[in-house]
């Protein structure tokens, strides 16, 4: 045991902090950063709600309001929702596989440092008074060189590049880990549903994110070196931006939602105390969602005047996705109904999720219809819809997951009482705050307006929305306070406080740096419910960092792979990449010259440490 500890432990102090490649430490700092972002974006939301709580509000002018919703949306989508799902995968995937680390440990570190670069890219300029102000999707021509002088739009576009490189790095890492590092016996058919969800979300990321990187790079090129992609006078086309943005943007919603489906399934299974009902149907419906998600992007563009047939096709495709989503809901209900459910806090979040997400799904089917969408587009109905799907569909499962796995991560239980209080405040406040927005939208209140006149009659519902949002934010603070206090005061959790079915519950809480002393062997889809003890294989080295690599389909052990040690180079490379990204806002030459330190950094990162040559023309002298 002590040798394993020595082999896998980080150096103490700052050096260990900066060089660690431990997936748990990196995931933890991802999550802490996300919580800070969630707090800031939540404060922005409250500020906007206060402005709108009465007619002719004077708290904000139009410019500040534009900046607030742009910063809120960009932060929530790019700095909270996607990264937090990657973070949960980074933390959980090796534990659920009984593995010692992710496939590419230094890439994990690089991913976090670049994500942090994205955070700073958006929020440091904001602190300096330079805030993007064109919404979270910055359409040209408004964001082009003609209408958006200065660097607000560039800052937004490069923030995207940072976070997308981070998410792509994490996704390749997670996908390779799930495909090649499953424990012996965990064939694809025996893979827990959460791992399916992370695999599918990672593959979706790999295919969707290049579109947004490409389109924001094209926007920067239009602004920096006068390319003509989006300028009609030069033969460009502004709708091209929208097509590429939504080719990413719609799958993005599912990149956020699919891991959430994984959380919900894991919680439902553990707290219903029976294997997931319809495991195969669930996997197939998730696969079909992931394919359909790439065929829906035009439904974000119904109002731009595309051919009728196009609108009809995308209306039909958008409605079809309700079928696999429905199958999942029914499978969860069947699991709960036929199990012995226990309604601890994580399970309450699942109930809150199902109720809220169904409402969001129904309003989604409504706006999937092109004629109705033409009426409702750019109104508060859409604001209500996407908050129901994203908060109800992704954040509620995330909070449930947080409560479910918190004891594993910290070794302490969270307070159930305060957990329930936070749940009631957040779910109650959310529904109180956002349901009235459906009605406001039907009454014609447009989104992205900084104020409205008293003659519109929107005051009452807006005030209600502000009260609800405030209650919800209070609930969020209770949740975070509960997590912080429980870290020191919570009851000791032990390895398996919930009687969970998957391998992470066989590791100590919190797991040691090497996660598992020996490699677990799996005989079913809910491995810990198969036996009272844990079948294991010995033989991985304890005096060198080693992980087991297995075959893709049947998880047959193939070889023992050396796992890279901590290194400062991922951080230094991320700094070099950051310098290039920031510089490229000002001059195209930064891209060329910025490549030099990046290349040096990458060479040193990957430089294998072995002895000098004893053969060949350049062998070491004296050999």
Partner 1 sequence: MSARARRRVGDLSGLPESASGPRHLVWWGNIGFMLIEGTGFLLAAGVYLYLASQTPHWPPDGDALPALMWSGIFTIGLLASEIPNLWLLGRSRAKDVWALRYGTALMTILGIALAAVRWFELQHLGVRWDHDAYGSALWLLMVLHTTHVVTDLGDTAVLSVWLFTHEVGDDQFADVEDNANYWSFVVMAWLPIYILVYWVPRWM
Binders of partner 1 among residues 547 to 576 (CB under 8 A) are: 548-549, 551-552, 557-562
What single DSSP character describes residue 151? Answer: S
Closer to partner 1 at the Cβ: 16 or 564?
564
Q: Which stretch binds partner 1 (CB under 8 A): 12-20, 282-290, 572-580, 602-610?
A: 602-610
Scored b (16 or more CB within 10 A) or e, 59-89 reads ebeeeebbbbbbbbbbbbbbbbbbbbbbbbb
Contact 522, 104 (CB under 8 A): no
Contact 397, 350 (CB under 8 A): yes
Distance of CA 40 to the CA centre of its chain: 17
**Does residue 414 interact with partner 1 by CB under 8 A?**
no
Structure tokens at 73: 């949306």
Closest separation in Å from C-beta 493 to partner 1:
8
Q: Is 132 helix (H, G, I), strand (E, B) or coil?
A: coil
Closer to partner 1 at the Cβ: 451 or 561?
561
DSSP 496-531: -TT--SSGGGGS-SSPPTTS-SSEE---SSSGGGT-
Q: What torsion do the CA atoms of 204, 208, 210, 214 make, to the nearest 10 degrees? A: -170
Q: What are phi and psi of 320, to 5 degrees?
A: -60, -35
Closer to partner 1 at the Cβ: 189 or 613?
613
Closest separation in Å from C-beta 210 to partner 1:
4
Q: Restricting to residues 493-532, which ones interact with partner 1 according to CB under 8 A?
A: 494-497, 506-508, 517-519, 521, 528, 531-532
Q: Which stretch binds partner 1 (CB under 8 A): 11-19, 45-53, 121-129, 223-231?
A: 223-231
Closer to partner 1 at the Cβ: 59 or 518?
518
**Does residue 236 interact with partner 1 by CB under 8 A?**
yes
Closest separation in Å from C-beta 517 to partner 1:
8
Contact 263, 352 (CB under 8 A): no
87, 95, 218, 270: which one binds partner 1 (CB under 8 A): 218
Extended beta strands in 45-92, E state = none
Closer to partner 1 at the Cβ: 365 or 534?
534
115, 162, 196, 247: which one binds partner 1 (CB under 8 A): 247
Closest separation in Å from C-beta 180 to partner 1:
5
Closest separation in Å from C-beta 96 to partner 1:
16
- H/E stretch holding 564 reads none
Q: Restricting to residues 36-75, which ones interact with partner 1 according to CB under 8 A?
A: none
Closer to partner 1 at the Cβ: 534 or 568?
534
Size of the site for partner 1 (CB under 8 A): 82
Closest separation in Å from C-beta 314 to partner 1:
17
Closer to partner 1 at the Cβ: 261 or 507?
507
Q: Is 546 helix (H, G, I), strand (E, B) or coil?
A: strand
Q: Restricting to residues 182-211, which ones interact with partner 1 according to CB under 8 A?
A: 184, 206-207, 209-211
Q: Restricting to residues 92-131, which ones interact with partner 1 according to CB under 8 A?
A: 103-104, 107
Distance in angstroms (rounded) separating the CA atoms of residues 384 and 363: 9
Q: Which stretch binds partner 1 (CB under 8 A): 25-33, 88-96, 152-160, 169-177?
A: 169-177
2, 56, 58, 614: which one binds partner 1 (CB under 8 A): 614
Residues 6+ apart with CB under 8 A from 36: none
Q: Nearest-5° angle of CA 362, CA 363, CA 365?
A: 65
Contact 219, 144 (CB under 8 A): yes
**Does residue 296 interact with partner 1 by CB under 8 A?**
no
**Does residue 310 interact with partner 1 by CB under 8 A?**
no
What single DSSP character describes residue 549? Answer: E
Sketch the per residue contact string, 446 through 485, with partner 1: x for CB under 8 A, - otherwise: ----------------------------------------
Q: What are phi and psi of 185, to 5 degrees?
A: 95, -20
């Amino acid at each position: 045991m002590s040798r394993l500890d020595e082999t896998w432990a980080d150096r103490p102090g700052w050096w260990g902090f900066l060089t660690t490649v431990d997936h748990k430490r990196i995931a933890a700092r991802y999550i802490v950063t996300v919580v800070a972002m969630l707090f800031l974006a939540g404060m922005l939301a409250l500020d906007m709600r206060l402005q709108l709580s009465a007619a002719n509000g004077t708290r904000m002018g139009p410019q500040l309001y534009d900046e607030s919703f742009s910063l809120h949306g960009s932060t929530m989508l790019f700095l909270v929702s996607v990264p937090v799902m990657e973070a949960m995968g980074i933390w959980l995937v090796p534990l659920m596989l009984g593995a010692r680390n992710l496939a590419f440990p230094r890439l994990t570190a690089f991913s976090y440092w670049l994500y942090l670069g994205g955070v700073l890219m958006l929020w440091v300029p904001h602190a300096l008074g330079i805030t993007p102000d064109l919404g979270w999707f910055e359409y040209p021509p408004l964001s082009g060189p003609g209408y958006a002088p200065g660097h607000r739009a560039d800052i937004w576009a490069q923030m995207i590049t940072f976070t997308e490189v981070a998410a792509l790095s994490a996704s390749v890492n997670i996908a390779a880990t799930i495909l090649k590092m499953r424990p012996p016996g965990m064939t694809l058919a025996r893979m827990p549903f959460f791992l399916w969800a992370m695999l599918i979300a990672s593959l979706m990321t790999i295919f969707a994110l290049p579109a947004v990187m490409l389109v924001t790079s094209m926007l920067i090129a239009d602004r920096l070196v006068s390319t003509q992609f989006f300028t009609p006078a030069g033969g460009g086309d502004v709708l091209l931006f929208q097509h590429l943005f939504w080719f990413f943007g719609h799958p993005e919603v599912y990149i956020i939602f699919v891991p959430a489906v994984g959380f919900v399934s894991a919680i439902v299974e553990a707290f219903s105390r029976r294997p997931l009902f319809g495991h195969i149907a669930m996997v197939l419906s998730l696969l079909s969602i992931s394919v359909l998600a790439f065929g829906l992007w035009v439904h974000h563009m119904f109002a731009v005047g595309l051919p009728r047939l196009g609108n009809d096709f995308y209306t039909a495709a958008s409605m079809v996705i309700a079928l696999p989503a429905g199958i999942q809901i029914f499978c969860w209900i069947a699991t709960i109904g036929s199990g012995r459910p226990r309604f601890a806090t994580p399970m309450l979040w699942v109930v809150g999720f199902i109720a809220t997400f169904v409402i969001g799904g129904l309003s989604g089917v409504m706006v999937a219809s092109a004629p109705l969408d033409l009426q409702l587009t750019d109104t508060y109905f859409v604001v209500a819809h996407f908050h129901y799907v994203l908060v109800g569909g992704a954040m509620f499962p995330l909070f449930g997951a947080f409560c479910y796995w918190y004891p594993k991560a910290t070794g302490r239980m969270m307070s159930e009482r305060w957990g329930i209080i936070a749940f009631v405040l957040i779910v109650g406040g959310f529904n109180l705050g956002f349901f009235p927005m459906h009605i406001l939208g039907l009454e014609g209140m447009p989104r992205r307006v900084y104020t409205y006149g008293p003659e519109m009659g929107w005051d009452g519902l807006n005030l209600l929305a502000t009260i609800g949002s405030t209650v919800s934010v209070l609930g969020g603070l209770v949740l975070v306070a509960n997590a912080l206090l429980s870290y020191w005061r919570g009851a000791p959790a032990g390895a398996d406080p919930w009687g969970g079915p998957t391998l992470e519950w066989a590791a100590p809480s919190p797991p040691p740096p090497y996660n598992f002393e020996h490699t677990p062997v799996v005989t079913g889809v809910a491995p810990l419910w198969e036996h009272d003890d844990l079948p294991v294989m010995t033989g991985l080295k304890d005096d060198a960092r080693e992980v087991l690599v297995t075959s893709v389909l049947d998880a047959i052990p193939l070889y023992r792979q050396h796992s890279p040690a901590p290194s400062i180079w991922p951080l230094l490379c991320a700094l070099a990449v950051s310098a290039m990204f920031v510089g490229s806002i000002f001059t195209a030459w930064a891209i060329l010259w910025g490549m030099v330190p990046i290349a040096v950094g990458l060479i040193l990162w990957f430089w294998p440490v072995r002895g000098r040559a004893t053969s060949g023309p350049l062998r070491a002298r004296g050999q």
